């Protein structure tokens, strides 16, 4: 068991279960056949769920000392993650990509097989040469943050014209364009829908560019992606699949699930869930896990971001199980994203146990997603 998982619940008391042998898909293990220790027979039976090692195609790891905690935590649940570049200063050059990747690898526990996938931030005036250098440094995606749309995005482009040379080169070289699809000039709940016109414009102007619309929050955006060509895909977060705006502010204000794009209605959440359950390769998981220390979140100017890395996988297993769609989970977590980015399928597996546990109120100095809630699955 990777160090650190005991913190999250029932790991130390788990019944020893057999290994999951299926190569593809989620696999339920019959505990009656897999209990090795006869002394444990008197304990309640628990099911196990084997999954291919999940990928996370949208992650914020931050910088400095805190990054060590966040990187190690992410590596307990995921084999690879696309690391977002909106640090200060931004990851926007071949040098900064190389340095950041080295820092992340150095932060990991010894023997960790976690692989950071690198992205760079598109800044106005970026040249084709800059782009090629980023690709040579290992970046697989460039991130478009409309100026002012979210954390550390003031320096982003105000229109695609400002990064047209880089987008030309990305289209040419197959580097994926990841878009934070919100128009910061629109009213806050309408920003995503308002930005879809710009995505349409980018798709028309760059007809071969591969595009991921990040962290969908509305039914309209889900329909937009579903009806688009195969080169258009989207990430879905755990928090947009679990919560609505009423969970955030219908009662007392919960700053720990305040995020960009803002959580929307139950109808929007339903559309996002149907996209995740659909088995369409256009929709895959990106946590957008974005930790902010508790004192910053519980302040008069709480920043957007949900720390979902520690709890996303157990929470999603519970959601997919409750909806009778567990068979769709491996594709969503571990196949479609890799295929879209042209990466090898994940190697390795994780195993979850059916085991009620209550998510701690704080992990790594941050209030995590589902804090205080009871979840039905936990890491084996
Ligand atoms: Zn993000």
Cβ atoms < 10 Å from Cβ of 188:
11
Grade residue 154 by pLDDT with cuts at 50, 70 and 90: confident
CA dihedral sign of residues 275, 239, 184, 157: negative
The arithmetic mean of pLDDT across residues 67-92, rounded, is 97
Torsion of CA 221, 223, 225, 227, to 10 degrees: -150
Q: How close is the Cα of 58 to the center of ligand 1, in Å?
A: 6
Express each pLDDT in 326-350 by its tens digit: 999 999 999 999 999 999 999 999 9
Inter-residue contact 380 to 17 (CB < 8 Å): yes
pLDDT, position 27: 58
| pTM assigned to the model | 0.90
Q: Is the pLDDT of residue 116 over 50?
A: yes
Q: How close is the Cα of 152 to the center of ligand 1, in Å?
A: 11
Q: Is the pLDDT of residue 12 over 80?
A: no
- Domain regions of the chain by residue span: 51-338
Average pLDDT of every residue of the chain: 90
Q: Is the pLDDT of residue 218 over 50?
A: yes
State both tokens at 284.
Answer: 């895959």
pLDDT, position 21: 38
- Strands in 55-59's sheet, in edge-to-edge order, are 55-59, 80-83, 115-121, 139-144, 176-179, 211-213, 232-236, 283-285
pLDDT, position 166: 98
The arithmetic mean of pLDDT across residues 166-188, rounded, is 97
Residue ranges near ligand 1 (ion) with Cβ within 5 Å: 288
Q: What percent of the chain has pLDDT over 70?
A: 88
The arithmetic mean of pLDDT across residues 38-60, rounded, is 77
Q: How close is the Cα of 154 to the center of ligand 1, in Å?
A: 14
Express each pLDDT in 219-237 by its tens digit: 999 999 999 999 999 999 9
CA dihedral sign of residues 354, 360, 365, 367: positive
Fold of domain 51-338: TIM Barrel (3.20.20)
Radius of gyration of the chain (CA): 20
State both tokens at 185.
Answer: 């000039």
Q: Is the pLDDT of residue 45 over 80?
A: no
Buried residues in 302-321 as b, exposed as e (16+ CB within 10 A): ebbbbbbbbbbbbbbbbbbb
pLDDT, position 14: 35
Residues annotated as catalytic are 288
Q: How close is the Cα of 62 to the center of ligand 1, in Å?
A: 11
């Amino acid at each position: 068991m990777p160090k650190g998982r005991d913190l999250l619940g029932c790991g130390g008391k788990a019944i020893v279960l057999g290994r999951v042998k299926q190569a593809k898909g989620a696999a339920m293990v019959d505990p009656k056949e897999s209990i090795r220790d006869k002394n444990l027979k008197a304990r309640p039976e628990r099911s196990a769920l084997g999954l291919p090692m999940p990928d996370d195609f949208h992650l914020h790891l931050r910088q400095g000392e805190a990054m060590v905690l966040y990187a190690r935590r992410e590596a307990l649940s995921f084999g690879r993650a696309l690391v977002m570049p909106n640090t200060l200063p931004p990851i926007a050059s071949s040098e900064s990509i190389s340095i950041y990747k080295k820092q992340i690898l150095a932060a990991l526990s010894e023997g960790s097989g976690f692989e950071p996938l690198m992205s760079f931030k598109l800044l106005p005036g970026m040249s084709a040469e800059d782009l090629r250098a980023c690709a040579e440094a290992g970046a697989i995606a460039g991130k478009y943050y409309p100026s002012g749309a979210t954390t550390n995005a003031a320096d982003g482009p105000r229109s695609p014209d400002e990064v047209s040379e880089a987008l030309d080169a990305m289209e040419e070289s197959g580097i994926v364009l990841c878009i934070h699809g919100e128009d910061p000039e629109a009213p806050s709940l309408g920003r995503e829908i308002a930005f879809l016109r710009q995505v349409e414009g980018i798709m028309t102007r760059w007809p071969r560019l591969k595009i991921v619309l990040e962290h969908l929050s509305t039914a309209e955006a889900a329909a937009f992606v579903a009806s688009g060509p195969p080169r258009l895909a989207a990430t879905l977060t755990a928090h947009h699949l679990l919560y609505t705006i009423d969970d955030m502010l219908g009662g007392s204000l919960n700053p720990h699930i305040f995020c960009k794009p803002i959580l929307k209605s139950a109808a929007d959440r339903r559309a996002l869930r149907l996209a995740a359950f659909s088995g369409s390769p256009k929709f895959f998981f990106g946590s957008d896990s974005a930790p902010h220390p508790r004192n910053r979140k519980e302040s008069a100017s709480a920043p957007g971001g949900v720390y979902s890395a520690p709890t996303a996988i157990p929470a999603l297993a519970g959601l997919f199980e409750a909806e009778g769609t567990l068979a769709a989970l491996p594709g969503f977590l571990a196949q479609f994203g890799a295929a879209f980015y042209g990466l090898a399928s994940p190697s390795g597996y994780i195993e979850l146990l059916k085991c009620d546990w209550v998510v701690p109120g704080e992990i790594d100095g941050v209030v995590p997603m589902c804090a205080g809630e009871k979840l039905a699955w936990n890491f084996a």
